[in-house]
Amino acid sequence: MLTRTEGIVLKTQKYGEADLIATYLTSDKGIINAFAKSPRKTKSRFGSSLEPLTHAKISLWGKEQALPRITQSDIADSFRQIRENYRDFVNISKLVEILISLTPVGIPNKRLFSFFLNILHIVKSSEHELKDALHLITRIRLLAVIGYAPRLKGCGKCGEKSLDFYPDSGTTLCTKCAVTPDRAGKPFMRINNKVIHFYTHSIEWPINISNRLKPGRETLSGLSGLLDKHLTYLLSKKLRSSEFFSGTAAQFR
Amino acid sequence: MSGGVVENLIIELTRLPGIGRKTAQRLAFFIMGMPGEEALSMANAIIKIKEKARFCKHCFNITEDEVCSLCTDPRRNREKICVVEEPSNLIVIENTKIYNGLYHVLLGALSPIDGITPERLRINELVERVKEGNISEVIIATNPNTKGETTAQYISQVLKPAGVKVSRIAYGLPIGGDIEFADEVTLSKALEGRNEMK
């Protein structure tokens, strides 16, 4: 059966001599995997349309439950500006890894597709003074869209004010709620009001005016560390792209 | 299928890239029909490559000795290093016969999402070679895809303090193809990298 859809290439994996398996976030089928015959050959008709982050209109042949074959792929936007910028690409890789790890395969989510496409457009054209802040905001917004954003506005159980974030609960907890017998000795992170304000504005403000947020370095690194801990707990492992970034970022300062 | 040995050979042959079961069957029957000494010589070649082949201690090309023949060749230009992802890329560049410098094989490409970090490649060894040697140019010939591009950007950044010229092989259209079939990214790269006619 031939189906047509539009999708964003999240990642590709070499298969056989010159073939690829591409993972797409599609507008109407959610995350899918598809097979492409010989795109790695220099004269392939696919050209660069299977490079990560490319937004393309694709035709697929075969059953959706099995691995369909990509028969055509026309680029709508290559987003090559992101791929050609080391920091942007590594930061977007974090989003892609979160998406692939926390989103079920084959469940349509139009809102997620539009959100991710919008993020790519914003990062591509952004002249954000603090690009690190923009990347952090996109991560927070993605977690909110897929339903895994941590709660930092008051205690997650009783709503009381609290500055102690518990990764195992995904929320801040007040001293009263945190000391129940079943929670004894659970690790937490002390955060400050600046982190909470920046986090709240990142979620509530429209992303196109996020450049008005001017967080300090400490706020950025504090919140970034909090999200890393939150994700490590959710995934039971560290994000590979996060480790990659922390290992190589010093070269690009 | 007839018996264990043939089936065993078919299974082993299907491990090779691009070889499916049907091709493996054809190859297995071809090997069965080969004269004994030819088949044994093929088997010995496989055993020898596993026993003797190793990476050159300078460039990480595949060699039988501690240092490969390219690194020891006195006729090669020792001021240039061409950086490639895999030994197979080196062979293709050698076939062009227009490059006469040295090589450095990274044994992979950086990939944030797959967790392939610089420590897993031979990037530190490249930086050491550039610092220690009298190198005037490093030519980055990683694959023209996202992983290759990320690797090229990283290498160019880590080599900046060494003050060496770092160049990237050109992007463009394959010879013998038609422009109408080229995608916009390849075509725009070809336009950006255009040369003046001599």
Per residue in A139-195, pLDDT tens? 999 999 999 999 998 898 898 988 999 999 999 998 888 887 777 778 888 999 999
Q: What is the mean pLDDT of chain B?
A: 93
Is 90 exceeded by the pLDDT of residue A111? yes
Same domain flag for A7 and A32: yes
Q: Can you tell me the mean pLDDT for A109-136?
A: 89
Distances from the Cα of A209 to the Cα of A14, A26, A128, A201, angstroms: 39, 27, 10, 10
Determine which of A16-20, A98-102, A149-153, B39-43 has the lowest per-residue pLDDT on average. Answer: A16-20
Q: Can you tell me the mean pLDDT for A13-29?
A: 91
Distance from CA of B42 to the nearest CA of A (A): 22
What H or E segment, with its residue span, contains residue A116?
helix A110-125
Across the interface, do A17 and B18 touch by the CB < 8 Å criterion? Answer: yes
Question: What is the rounded distance in angstroms from the CA atom of residue A27 to the CA atom of residue A39?
Answer: 23
**CATH code of residue A203:** 1.20.1440
Distance from CA of B83 to the nearest CA of A (A): 19
Across the interface, do A247 and B119 touch by the CB < 8 Å criterion? Answer: yes
Extended beta strands in chain A, E state: 2-15, 19-26, 30-36, 55-61, 69-77, 164-166, 171-172, 189-190
Determine which of A43-47, A165-169, A247-251, B62-66 has the lowest per-residue pLDDT on average. Answer: A247-251
Determine which of A138-142, A210-214, B47-51, B106-110 has the lowest per-residue pLDDT on average. Answer: A210-214
Name the β-bridge partners of A20: A14, A36
Task: Output the CA angle B191-B169-B167, nearest 5 degrees.
Answer: 110
Q: What's the token pair of residue A176?
A: 């009263």
Strands of the sheet containing B77-84, edge to edge, are B101-105, B77-84, B137-140, B165-168
**B118 interfacial to chain A (CB closer than 8 Å):** yes
**CATH code of residue A73:** 2.40.50.140
Question: What is the rounded distance in angstroms from the CA atom of residue A176 to the CA atom of residue A157?
Answer: 10
Same domain flag for A112 and A224: yes
Is 90 exceeded by the pLDDT of residue B47? yes
Examine residue A222 and state whether it is found in any structural domain, yes or no.
Answer: yes
Q: Can you tell me the mean pLDDT for A235-246?
A: 89
Contact present, B168 and B196 (Cβ < 8 Å): no
Q: What's the token pair of residue A8?
A: 């964003």
Is 80 exceeded by the pLDDT of residue A130? no
Same domain flag for A121 and A200: yes
Question: What is the rounded distance in angstroms from the CA atom of residue A91 to the CA atom of residue A227?
Answer: 14
Report strand pairing: B165-168 vs B137-140. Answer: parallel
Three-state secondary structure call for residue B101: strand
Across the interface, do A89 and B184 touch by the CB < 8 Å criterion? Answer: no
Residues with Cβ < 8 Å from A239, sequence gap 6 or more? A94, A97, A98, A101, A228, A231, A232
Question: What is the rounded distance in angstroms from the CA atom of residue B115 to the CA atom of residue A241?
Answer: 6
Examine residue A180 and state whether it is found in any structural domain, yes or no.
Answer: no
Q: Which stretch, A53-62, A64-73, A181-190, has highest mean pLDDT? A: A53-62
Candidates B100, B120, B95; CA nearest to B110 is B120
* pLDDT band at A247; cut points 50, 70, 90: confident
Examine residue A177 and state whether it is found in any structural domain, yes or no.
Answer: no
Across the interface, do A243 and B186 touch by the CB < 8 Å criterion? Answer: no
Q: Can you tell me the mean pLDDT for A13-30?
A: 91
Same domain flag for A88 and A200: yes
Q: Can you tell me the mean pLDDT for A208-234?
A: 89
- Among A52, A75, A247, select the one facing B117 at the smallest CB separation: A247
Across the interface, do A89 and B185 touch by the CB < 8 Å criterion? Answer: no
pLDDT above 70 coverage of chain A, percent: 99
Q: What's the token pair of residue A233?
A: 């707990």
pLDDT for the residue B5: 92
Across the interface, do A75 and B183 touch by the CB < 8 Å criterion? Answer: yes
Phi, then psi, of B92 in degrees rounded to 5:
-65, -40
Contact present, A243 and A161 (Cβ < 8 Å): no
Candidates A57, A199, A207; CA nearest to A119 is A207
pLDDT for the residue A253: 65
- Among A42, A86, A93, select the one facing B174 at the smallest CB separation: A42
Phi, then psi, of A99 in degrees rounded to 5:
-60, -50
pLDDT for the residue A129: 63
How many domains, chain A?
2
Amino acid at A66: A
Same domain flag for A132 and A212: yes
For A147-166, letters b (16+ CB in 10 Å) and e give ebbbebebbbbeeeebebbb
Same domain flag for A16 and A123: no
Contact present, A117 and A76 (Cβ < 8 Å): no
* pLDDT band at B67; cut points 50, 70, 90: very high
Is 70 exceeded by the pLDDT of residue B24? yes
In chain B, the domains with their CATH numbers are 4-52 (1.10.8.420), 62-191 (3.40.1360.10)
Examine residue A118 and state whether it is found in any structural domain, yes or no.
Answer: yes
Distance from CA of B74 to the nearest CA of A (A): 34
Q: Which chain A residues are within 8 Å of B110, Cβ to Cβ? A: 244
Nearest CA in chain B to A42: B174
Q: Which chain A residues are within 8 Å of B184, Cβ to Cβ? A: 75, 78
Q: Can you tell me the mean pLDDT for A25-48?
A: 91
Same domain flag for A123 and A31: no
Examine residue A134 and state whether it is found in any structural domain, yes or no.
Answer: yes
Choose from B89, B126, B146 for mutation: most chain A CBs within 10 A.
B146
* pLDDT band at A96; cut points 50, 70, 90: very high
Give the number of other CB atoms < 10 A from CB of residue B174.
Answer: 11
* pLDDT band at A131; cut points 50, 70, 90: confident
In this prediction the ipTM stands at: 0.86
Contact present, B96 and B75 (Cβ < 8 Å): no
pLDDT above 90 coverage of chain B, percent: 82
Distances from the Cα of A215 to the Cα of A149, A198, A211, B71, B182, angstroms: 19, 7, 10, 52, 44
Across the interface, do B113 and A51 touch by the CB < 8 Å criterion? Answer: no
Q: What's the token pair of residue B34?
A: 């080969």
Q: Can you tell me the mean pLDDT for A41-57?
A: 91
The tens digit of pLDDT for each residue in B92-133 reads 999 999 999 999 999 999 999 999 999 999 999 999 999 988
Phi, then psi, of A247 in degrees rounded to 5:
-80, -25
Same domain flag for A62 and A93: no
Domain with A91 in it: 81-152+191-250
Examine residue A94 and state whether it is found in any structural domain, yes or no.
Answer: yes
pLDDT for the residue B3: 63
Same domain flag for A73 and A92: no
Per DSSP, the residues of B36-63 read HHHHHHHHHHHHHHHHH-EE-TTT--EE
pLDDT for the residue A210: 79
Same domain flag for A88 and A148: yes
Is 70 exceeded by the pLDDT of residue A223? yes
Examine residue A48 and state whether it is found in any structural domain, yes or no.
Answer: yes
pLDDT for the residue B2: 53
- Among B113, B153, B183, select the one facing A240 at the smallest CB separation: B113
